[in-house]
Amino acid sequence: MFIFQPFGNVDNEDLEELKTHISDRILASPSEIIIMNSIPIPPDAYAPERDQYRASSFLNTLRANDEMLYLGTRSAQRHKEENNYKILGVVDLDLFTPELNYIFGQAEISGNYAIISLSRLHDVSHEKYISRMVKEAVHELGHTFGFHHCPDPKCVMHFSNSLADTDYKNETYCDVHYKELVKIRERKGVSN
């Protein structure tokens, strides 16, 4: 199960497009992806000295609100008990970490939580914007599957230093990461 959790003002139509485009890339059926209602920006996220938002605050909020994010269905509870879920936060604000001036996203390696920022992905055609959003989401979810950065510049797991890097890479995993994803999803009892 994959949960998309928007923070603040995020266009729901963009999230629906993300859901449509991402499902085959992460070996999930659209019914496995749930879009939640937006929740407020964490109060400790904003760093006025940088006029940016701390990515860690969003990840901490996802972690802290984990129980509230679930719909209360038996299916959701089963995924929770089996640790077979990922929560992707989505925000349209400029994020940073102490080590980097800005980031497109951040995730827990082999964890359940990731966040992507749409803020720097705009100002292009709608098609290119959606492609960038998909790449960032697939990349960060890849980290939650345990994937590290890939040396292949076309693999979605390649580190993006800039939007040019993001635009250059594919929306999909390279063969190595794709095969690993198939194994992971099969171990979790998900067949494609």
Catalytic residues: 140
Residue 76: Cβ within 10 Å count: 16
- Cβ-in-10-Å burial (0-12, 13-18, 19+) of 84 comes to middle
Rounded distance, CA 111 to CA 104, Å?
18
CA pair distance 18, 189, nearest whole angstrom: 24
SS3 (DSSP) at 136:
helix
Strands 100-103 and 95-97: what pairing?
Answer: antiparallel
Q: Give the span between the Cα atoms of 5 and 38, in whole angstroms.
A: 6
List Cα–Cα distances, 74 to 30, 37, 68, in angstroms: 18, 20, 15
Strand partners for 54:
96
